[in-house]
Structure 1
Amino acid sequence: MSLTGGVLRVVPVLWRSDDEPPITIPRDPAREAARRELSKRMYHENDPGLLQRALNAFWDWVDRLFGAASTATPGGSVGLLVIVLAVLAIVGALWWRLGTPRRMPTSSATLFDDRPRSAAEHRATAEAHAAQGHWNQAVQERMRAVVRSLEERALLDVRPGRTADEAASEAGRTLPDHADRLRAAARDFDDVTYGGRSAGEGTYRRLAALDDDLERAKPQLTNSARSTAHNADQGAAG
């Protein structure tokens, strides 16, 4: 140490030996030497990694955010905790009430793909999927078999781009005894294909039973068809 003008100043001193005078090093070179020494790897072996530093910075930010929010919230930290719990309770209630968000069926989605197949082919594909427990695909193919079978029997006109709902509505007018089951089958098809839901074995078995019943069902004549048949009977009798 040296006293200059009444001010005490510390001067770095290196002692070489008891017999040699001390060596003083200017402040800036001493600072640079210390920096180089502390930058050696041996002093940083236990430093946190990049990911840990990022996480530490994130949690520091969260801590500052909650600290600022707690000072602005009536009741401080307790009031903030009450608000957070209330928000979580509301979100949980909505989730329980509404269920998992699902994509709504698209009204323009078509029933068939571009490659036409027979009802028998759709049934065989459906049974193959069912044998493997692939119920979604089994339901899709069985519904296609139902509609294709009605087209093959001329109970539905062959129309590309028809949706399952349209097919059920049109077939329900010809087969009114099965109208409700046809609409339910169309809903199952839409839910599986476009609504993101999963079908089970029960859904497929109900659809397969409907397919079998429709094979034996007799169509109901419309009013115009009854009128034409009645006039033909009168003409034959006359």
Structure 2
Amino acid sequence: MTGAGGTTAAARHILAGGDIPVDTSRVPAREAARDELSDPMYHEHDPNLLERGLDRFWDWIGDLFAGAAGAAPGGPLGLVVLVLVVIGLGAALWWRLGTPRRTAHMTETLFGDTARSATDHRTTAAAHAEARRWTEAVQERMRALVRALEDRAVLTPRPGRTADEAASEAGLLMPAHAARLHAAARVFDEVTYGGRTADEAAYLTLRTLDLDLEATKPSPAATGAARETAG
């Protein structure tokens, strides 16, 4: 019988050519195997760099969700409920605030480049209301309201005035209507720059305010205070 040492020694002998034993040590044998396996033919079906990156990314996403599911009350089902709640809150905010617009739009003027009378704006607003185009009706009625205050010399005509500025200035002169003026300016901004859609109630509220302002005279004390503030 051959012992373990003899077997190991015999395994290192390779008969080559004319039965000449060749003794191959472990290190050269390992290097030869590595060189052989480095041949491209053995790696034709390996994933490329992009595929490996995507695999790692999806593994990371899976680990992330697994960790979140473990931490969420109720496990995976609780995580699904939380995700649905977040989506619902996002949809509610989107509906309430409207489509996001650039902040620069909020600085646009009330009248733009037009120079029309209060009567013209009211006529246009009425036409929009008749056609149930409430957003346009609200916009034109707000313009009519401010133009009428300028025509009555309650407000000094000033190019570039915004709805908020007009409401603030008129509110100082007619404090009884200040809150309604600010509310009207807010509605105008929401439908004009915030992507909201006006309804009939918004238009009727603004029309009533316009008519009430027509019948209101600014108090002398409020006018003097406003002029001192402006000065």
What is aligned with 2:174?
A: 175
What is aligned with 1:161?
A: 160
Task: Give 1:180's aligned amino acid.
Answer: A
What is aligned with 2:62?
A: 69
What is aligned with 1:89?
A: 84
What is aligned with 1:215?
A: 214
What CA deviation, in whole Å up to 9, does each residue of 1:174-219 have, x standing for no partner?
1111111111110110111011111110110011111111111111
**Equivalences for residues 88-167 of structure 1 within 5 A:** 88-95=83-90, 98-100=93-95, 102=98, 103=100, 106-167=105-166
Whether contact under 8 Å (2:173, 2:218) holds in the other structure is yes
Whether contact under 8 Å (2:173, 2:223) holds in the other structure is no
Q: Percent identity?
A: 48
Report deviation, 1:113.
1.7
1:184 paired to 2:179: no
Question: Could you state the TM-score of these two structures normalised by the residue count of structure 2?
Answer: 0.60
What is aligned with 1:45?
A: none
Q: How far apart in 2 are the matches of 1:224 and 1:188?
A: 26
Whether contact under 8 Å (1:156, 1:171) holds in the other structure is yes
- Structure (1/2) with the larger helix percentage: 2
Whether contact under 8 Å (1:146, 1:211) holds in the other structure is yes
Aligned pairs, how many? 163
Q: How far apart in 2 are the matches of 1:72 and 1:143?
A: 51
Question: Could you state the TM-score of these two structures normalised by the residue count of structure 1?
Answer: 0.59
Higher relative contact order (CA 8 A, sep 6+): 2
Q: How far apart in 1 are the matches of 2:208 and 2:223?
A: 31
Where structure 1 has 5 or more consecutive residues not aligned to the other structure, the ranges are 1-60, 227-238
What CA deviation, in whole Å up to 9, does each residue of 1:100-149 have, x standing for no partner?
35336754121012020000000000000000000000000000000000
SS at match of 1:222: helix
What CA deviation, in whole Å up to 9, does each residue of 1:32-80 have, x standing for no partner?
xxxxxxxxxxxxxxxxxxxxxxxxxxxxx99xx58x827993699xx98
Q: How far apart in 2 are the matches of 1:150 and 1:72?
A: 60
Change (3 A) 1:87 1:194: same
SS at match of 1:124: helix
Whether contact under 8 Å (1:73, 1:80) holds in the other structure is no
Whether contact under 8 Å (1:164, 1:190) holds in the other structure is yes
What is aligned with 1:43?
A: none
Q: How far apart in 2 are the matches of 1:108 and 1:187?
A: 13
Q: How far apart in 1 are the matches of 2:183 and 2:146?
A: 14
